[in-house]
Structure 1
Amino acid sequence: MVRRWFPGALLVALMTVASVNRVVADEPPRTGAEGVNQAFPVPRPEPVDPPSPADLQAALTGGVDFLLNVQVHNGAWGSPRRTKGMDVYAPVPGAHHAFRAATTALCLMALIESGDSRPEVQRAIQRGQAWWLAHGQQVRRADGVALYNVWAHAYGIQALLKMQSRAAGQQDDSTATREPIQKAIQHQIRMLDRYESVNGGWGYYDFSYQLQKPSSIPTCFTTATCLIALLQARQAGYEVQQRTIQRAVEAINRQRKADFSYLYSGRHRWYPMFGINRPAGSLGRSQVCNLALRMSGDERVTDQVLIDWLDRLFARNLWLDIGRKRPIPHESYFGVAGYFFYYGHYYASLCIEQLPAAQRPQYQAMMARLLLGLQEKDGSWWDFPLYDYHQPYGTAMAVMSLIRCRAAEKQAANSSRHAGIPATARPSAPSDARPSAPAD
Structure 2
Amino acid sequence: MSSFRRHTCVAFTAAVLVIAHSAAPAMADDIPGKIAEASGILNDALDFSQPPVLPTIEAPRKTDIRASIDRGVAFLLADQNANGSWGSATRTKGLNIFAPVPGAHHAFRTATTSLCISALIELESGGLCQDVAAVAESIDKSEAWLTEHLPNLRRATSDAIYNVWGHGYSIQALVRMHGRHQADAAKQEQIVTLIKSQFDMLTRFESVDGGWGYYDFRYGGNQPTSSSISFVNGALLVAMAEARDIGVEPPKRVVDRAIAALRRQQKPDFSYLYGEYLQYQPMRGINRPGGSLGRTQCCNTALRYWGDLSITDNVAKNWLYRLYVRNGWLDIGRKRPIPHESWMQVAGYFYYFGHYYAALSMDQLPAADRAPYQSMLAKLMLDRQEADGSWWDYPLYDYHQPYGTGFALMTLKRCLPD
Q: What TM-score do the two structures reach when normalised by structure 2?
A: 0.86
Could you list the runs of 5+ residues in structure 2 that have no partner in the other structure?
A: 1-40
Could you give the per-residue CA deviations for residues 242-282 of structure 1, whole angstroms, max 9, x where no partner exists?
Answer: 11111011000000000001000001111100111000000
Q: Which amino acid aligns with 1:360?
A: R
Distance 1:294 1:39 in 2: 23
Q: Which residue of 1 aligns with 2:64?
A: 55
Q: Does 1:107 align with 2:121?
A: no
Could you give the per-residue CA deviations for residues 61-102 of structure 1, whole angstroms, max 9, x where no partner exists?
Answer: 000000000000000000001111211100000000000000
Q: Which residue of 2 aligns with 1:143?
A: 157
Matches within 5 A, 1:249-398: 249-398=259-408
Q: Which residue of 1 aligns with 2:102?
A: 93
Distance 2:203 2:407 in 1: 25
Query: Which residue, 55, 73, 79 being the options, matches 1:46?
Result: 55
Q: Note closer, same or farther for the CA distance 1:287–1:344 as it changes in structure 2 (3 Å cut).
A: same
Distance 2:91 2:356 in 1: 25
Q: Does 1:407 align with 2:412?
A: no
Distance 1:79 1:144 in 2: 22
Q: Does 1:183 align with 2:193?
A: yes
Q: 2:207–2:224: 8 Å Cα contact kept in structure 1? A: yes
Q: Which amino acid aligns with 2:122?
A: E
Distance 1:166 1:333 in 2: 42
Larger radius of gyration: 1
Q: Does 1:164 align with 2:178?
A: yes
Q: Which residue of 2 aligns with 1:134?
A: 148
Distance 2:167 2:53 in 1: 36
| SS state at 1:270 partner | coil
Could you give the per-residue CA deviations for residues 258-312 of structure 1, whole angstroms, max 9, x where no partner exists?
Answer: 0001000001111100111000000000000000111111110000110110111
Give the superposition deviation at 1:45. 5.2
Query: Which residue, 120, 129, 154 being the options, matches 2:134?
Result: 120
Q: 1:47–1:366: 8 Å Cα contact kept in structure 2? A: no
Give the superposition deviation at 1:241. 1.6
Q: Which amino acid aligns with 1:324?
A: R
Moved more, 322-331 or 235-244: 235-244
Matches within 5 A, 1:419-434: none
Q: 1:103–1:392: 8 Å Cα contact kept in structure 2? A: yes
Q: What TM-score do the two structures reach when normalised by structure 1?
A: 0.82
Distance 2:146 2:164 in 1: 15
Distance 2:301 2:120 in 1: 23
Q: Note closer, same or farther for the CA distance 1:44–1:269 as it changes in structure 2 (3 Å cut).
A: farther
Q: 1:290–1:306: 8 Å Cα contact kept in structure 2? A: yes
Of all paired residues, the percent bearing the same amino acid is: 52
Q: Which amino acid aligns with 2:391?
A: W
Give the superposition deviation at 1:180. 2.3
